[in-house]
Amino acid sequence: MNLRPRTSSLMTWTSKSLEEPSWSPGGTAALEKQLPSRSPGENIFLHIVDLSDPKTVWKFVENFKQEHTLNVLINNAGCMVNERELTEDGLEKNFATNTLGVYVLTTALIPVLEKEHDPRVVTVSSGGMLVQKLNTDDLQSERTAFDGTMVYAQNKRQQVVLTEQWARAHPTIHFSCMHPGWVDTPGVRLSMPGFHARLGARLRSEAQGADTVLWLALAPTAAVQPSGRFFQDRKPVPTHLPFARTSSSPAEEEKLIEILEELAQRFK
């Protein structure tokens, strides 16, 4: 593979020549070996941003776009807080990080992405979203008993809906979201200890979980897939289980965008 990073800010690489047809542990290992050798240290910039603080996200974007270009945005940061906590702005922390923060960061960077050739946005969602129907009536978990796992799953459903909406609104950018599989990460060990103990050795490695993310960010074969799709193991997969009744109406999806936009502007 001949990887040519065009933008290394936000720990993002992009390329014109990554063409492995399907997921494999060997393919991931090969990709890991290639990336550092093609990414000189002087082209890598680390930006630390608290996604739960929309004011900070807005400020970051304003500074970033003055100094950098951007070819690929990977929305991977997230949290699963199992007790209802509020940020300093009075926002429920999971919603603020996983949904509002991702919304502000992505929409604010769209004008930067649109200036580049073959721009992409990859959002790391979760298969857990399959058990959730979009619920715009209680985005911050104020009216029901709090369950951190289900709140996280609802946030991940919201990310899938946002990806579909962005793909329709911005056809020059390739949007995708994906399920990395169940991965042995510190976040899973900390937030879901019972789940982690039950799956044990069946959990994927971090490299295996990252494989489809990198493929969506780098591969020409990924870019020819329709924008707005949900992927697992480099393949588009359904966003709803049979008979699950988790589909949402256009009105519900528009309401999500309206609420997020109102909140985003409030903190700008």
pLDDT above 80 (res 108): yes
Please give the structure tokens belonging to residue 13: 């690489």
Sign of the alpha-carbon torsion through 8, 107, 191, 214: negative
70: left (phi over 0), alpha (psi -120 to 50) or beta: beta
Q: Is 120's pLDDT higher than 70?
A: yes
Say if residue 178's pLDDT is above 90: yes
Q: Is the pLDDT of residue 44 over 80?
A: no
Answer yes or no: 152 catalytic. Answer: yes
Of 12-26, 29-43, 151-165, the least confident: 12-26
Q: Which of 60, 152, 166, 230 is catalytic?
A: 152
Distance CA 179, CA 182 (A): 8
pTM confidence score? 0.83
For the segment 250-266, the average pLDDT, to the nearest whole number, is: 98
Q: Is the pLDDT of residue 20 over 50?
A: no
Tens of pLDDT, residue by residue over 61-92, are 999 999 999 999 999 988 989 999 999 999 99
Across the range 131-158, mean pLDDT stands at 96
Of residues 3 and 51, which shows the higher confidence score? 51
With 0-12 / 13-18 / 19 or more C-beta atoms within 10 angstroms meaning exposed / middle / buried, residue 174 is buried
Task: Give the end-to-end CA distance of the chain in Å, rounded to a whole number.
Answer: 42
